[in-house]
Every structure is written in structure tokens, then in C-alpha cells.
A and B are shown apart, each in its own frame.
Chain A
Amino acid sequence: MEYLSILFDQIYKILFLLVPVLVSVAMVVWLDRRVWAFVQKRQGPNVVGPFGLLQTIADALKYIFKEIIIPSSSNKVIFILAPIVTMTLALIAWAVIPFSATQVLADINVGILYLFAVSSLGVYGIIMGGWASNSKYPFLGAIRSAAQMVSYEVSIGVIIINVLLCVGSLNLNDIVIAQQNLWFVIPLFPMFVIFFISALAETNRPPFDLPEAEAELVAGYQTEYSGMMYAMFWLGEYANILLMCAMGAILFLGGWLSPLEIYPFTLIPGPVWLILKILLLFFLFALIKAIVPRYRYDQLMKLGWKVFLPLSLIWVVLTASYLFYFNLLPVN
């Protein structure tokens, strides 16, 4: 009985986290399309519901009722597993995101490593989908995205080391609390820019959407998918984007801290601040989708390995020497 009550308690907490995440994914898809449309002087989805807010839900319903087509020459088990893996990995990472000092599902010691590990596993959904489809375009898309995601993960890892040098702990709440006096976006601004661009590449967003470049690869690894399986890829992708935004907000923008510790700001609770910061970063993601043309593949690789990796490595040395020289290294 004791185990059962713990189990139900946990399930209740998990649902309380997952349902808002899924709803916000739906809303964010709408926001993305609206921002994209407004930059191009169009209206965007504005018919279903007020301001077209329910457009994504209508789309999801349409996908649910469509037939799932499984190509006869595909590797069926892996083909079906791929969208499930994408969706699951995009959702389990939310377990460690702190919404305030106490509102965390799992306040683990190595929270940032967990986030990094889960986001680096995200590539499997894409490779599995691309390979199991047994078709040219999905396979090319999968190969491209595997190389791209592995490359940009490296620089994200080095950027995380930068932040960890200033914090002295791998716990996400500690990282947020360490920014009480100064958000890391100010001393580590170049790292924030590189993190943001690497996050674009890691989530296959434009201008780095080579894996699904519609002009060359139809839809890349999603080409053979239909119905609910396609919708799961699509939702997982947006959940991943939100997760990268949350990671950026926690690492550089002070997580659930309010920008100034003075009266009108302190009234607003922590979770609201975190959500506002996530939305700000997502707005930038959406703007960039609308205003930047797609990169060429060799340029993308060159940017990752020859520009971002050396820059972030040099910055690690700089940060470490600065902290060491002024005796600011966090020691507990």
C-alpha cells in the first residue's frame, strides 16, 4: 500500500507537469506560425478559435483520424519505434526543469548532465526513422541530422562547462541560485550567442534545417510518415525546441529568478518568470525561422567545428583563468 500511494503521488505530479507541457507545445506551434506569418506580412492561422488559437488542436485531430501508412519495404518495428522515441525523449527531459526552488519533479544532483544526455539521445529518433523507412530521402536526411547534431552537441557541452565553472554544481537549482546577483548572460554573453545558435542546429530549426530541407529532401526523415506518427515527430520536435529554450533560460537568463529583486517584480511567482523567459527565447527562434535563409551543408559543418568549438574552448580557458586569478572559483 505504501508503494502504491508513492506511485500514485508521482503519477499525479508527472501528469501535472506533462499536460501543461503538451498544451503549451500546441500553443507554441501556433505562435511559431503566427510570428512567421507576420514577418512575411501574412495573417497566419486565424480561423479556428479566437485568433486561431485552436488551430494546432484541429491539426492534431486531423492527424489522429488519418490512416497510418507503413511502407511495405520498411523495417516495421524500428519504423514504429522512431516517433515514440522522439516524443518520449522530448518529454522525459522536463522532469528536471526547476520551475521554482521547490517545484521540481526530480531535483537530482546531476540535473544539467541529465538534460545534456537526453538532448543528445534525441538524434536516435531521427536516425531510426530515416533508416527504417528504407527510402532515399529519409536516409539522406537522417545521415545529415546525425552528423549535424553530434557536431553541435560538442560545442553545447563546452558551453555548459563554462557555466559550471561559475557555479560549482551540476544541480539546476544551484545554477539558478548562483545567478541571483548577476545573470550569466552578461559575463558570458558570447557563450549565450553560441549556445543559442547551437540550439537552433541541435533542434534542426531553420537556418539549420538541412535534415528536412524541403527543396532537396521532400521532408527528410519524415517523408514516409503519415497520420499520428508524423504528428508525434512534429510534437516531439517542438517539445525539444521548448526544452532547449528552457535550458537557455536556466543556464543564462536566471531561470525562475525575477530580473530585479524589487517590489512589483517580486509579486510575480517564479514559474511565471521562467515561462516568460522560455517564451522570449522561443520568439527569437520563430523570428530567425522567418528572416534567415538556409545554410549550405559544408558551411554548417565548418561553423560547428571550426568556429564554435575553438571559440567556446578558448572561452573556457579565459573563464577558468579569470576565476582562478581573482580567486572567485566556487569552492564548497
Chain B
Amino acid sequence: MIAHSIFFYTFSIIAIVSAIMVTASKNTVHSVFFLILDFISISCLFIMIGAEFLGMIMLIVYVGAVAVLFLFVVMMLNVAQQKNQWFSSEENSKHIPVGLIISTLIFVELIIVVGGWKYKPDLFDINNSLELAKVSNTHSLGQVLYTDYIHVFQISGMILLVAMIGAIVLTFRKRVGVKTQSYIKQISRERSDGVSVLNVESNKGVKIDD
């Protein structure tokens, strides 16, 4: 198991160092790239403990979609200069105590949660009865999510849907006077709407645009 532990320590060190670099690096875009590296090494750790489904979903959702949007926003808004100002200028240093308080709170909460962590007493019996070798972890995850915790799962899905609709409603602006292409209008246009054949008498002309 030497190789296993070598890989474990490599990925954990990369994860921790890149997590530190996310906050430490001056350039915001670099921060996002370190965040991506962090996600990737954490999904490698997931795969190493045999949770390959979670690892892959982590890659697809966080690295493939969420981080791309982060990068998008950071590149478009040019946040890099702002971040530098925050750290260098005197007046903005009042953010630091607030940040410290919040991070201490989160840290204490984490310690309480981890300290009070207990495995369900029958967990290991369940594991043995499932015969881990036969059931892949995708199947067992599906069984747990869609049978034991189906209501919680559905409710969290609804919350996400509401959040999505909320975001759309908040940012949606109806702009007036913008020319947009309407397929229905284009397709339903007939020859008779656009062209009319007139018999023009000579020297009299015809009046258009009326």
C-alpha cells in the first residue's frame, strides 16, 4: 500500500497548498485556477477512497461548469485591481476583522460538527449485507438517495429550482425597442404580404408607402 499512501499525500498536499494559494495569490484569475486545481485534487481523493461516482460528479459540476462561470465573471469584471486595492489601501482594511470573525465562526462550527461525529451503529452491518464487491457505489448511492431519503432529495431539488427561477426573475429586464428575430414571423410571411403586382399606367406612376 506504499503507492496508495504516496498518491494520497501527493493529492492532499496539492489540495491544501492550492487552497491556500486561492486566497494568497494577488491575481484573481490565478486564484480561480488554483481553485480548479483544488477541485481536481479533491476529486482524485474521492476516487482514491472508492467513491468514483462522487469524484466524477465533482469534476463535471464544479470544474466543468461552476468554475468556468467563475472564470467568466472574473475575467469580464477585471476584479484583479480591486483585490489589490483591498489588500494595500488603508481604508479598506476594516474588511479584515469582519472576515476574521466569520472565518472563526465557521471554523468553530466545523470543529463542533466533526467532534460530535458518530457513525450510525448499524452502518457497518448494512455495508456487509450489501456485499460491497457486487454493488457498485453508483447503485448504492442511488438506492440510498431515491429510497431512504427521497423526500429530502426532492425538497432540495425544489429549492434549487426556486433559486434558479429567482435568479432569472431578478436579472430579467424587458428591453423595449430591440429588434429581435422571430422565426414564426419570418416563416408565416406570405408572398401576398410582401409583394403586390400593380398595373402601372405610363406617365402616371404609382403611389407606394401608404
Contact = CB atoms under 8 A, between A and B. Distances in A.
B71 A127 contact: yes
Contact of A117 (B56, B69, B181): B56
A146 interface: yes
Given A110-B53, A121-B59, A124-B36, A131 B29 contact: yes
Contacts of B69: 150
Contacts, number: 69
A179 B82 CA distance: 55
Interface string A121-152: 10110011001000000010001001100100
Q: Is the interface of A mostly helix, strand, loop or mixed?
A: helix
A153 B33 contact: no
Interface in B59-115: 59-60, 63-65, 68-69, 71-72, 75-76
Nearest to B55: A110
B169 to A, nearest CB: 17
Contact of B65 (A131, A150, A332): A150
B197 interface: no
A150 B53 contact: no
Nearest to A154: B65
A120 interface: yes
B138 to A, nearest CB: 6
Interface string A159-175: 00000000001100000
A117 B52 contact: no
Interface in A295-331: 298-299
Interface in A107-126: 108-110, 113-114, 116-117, 120-121, 123-124
Interface in A159-208: 169-170
A150 B68 contact: yes
A85 to B, nearest CB: 10
Contacts of B33: 78, 128
Nearest to B59: A117
A150 B33 CA distance: 17
A75 B59 CA distance: 26
B152 interface: no
Contact of B75 (A114, A131, A153, A298): A131
Interface in B19-53: 29, 33, 36, 52-53
Contact of A146 (B29, B68, B138, B181): B68
A147 B53 CA distance: 26
Given A109-B138, A143-B72, A146-B72, A121 B53 contact: no
A8 interface: no
A127 B60 contact: no
- The listed residue with most B CB atoms (<10 A of its CB), out of A113, A131, A157, is A113
Interface of A: 3, 75, 78, 108-110, 113-114, 116-117, 120-121, 123-124, 127-128, 131, 139, 143, 146-147, 150, 153, 157, 169-170, 298-299, 332
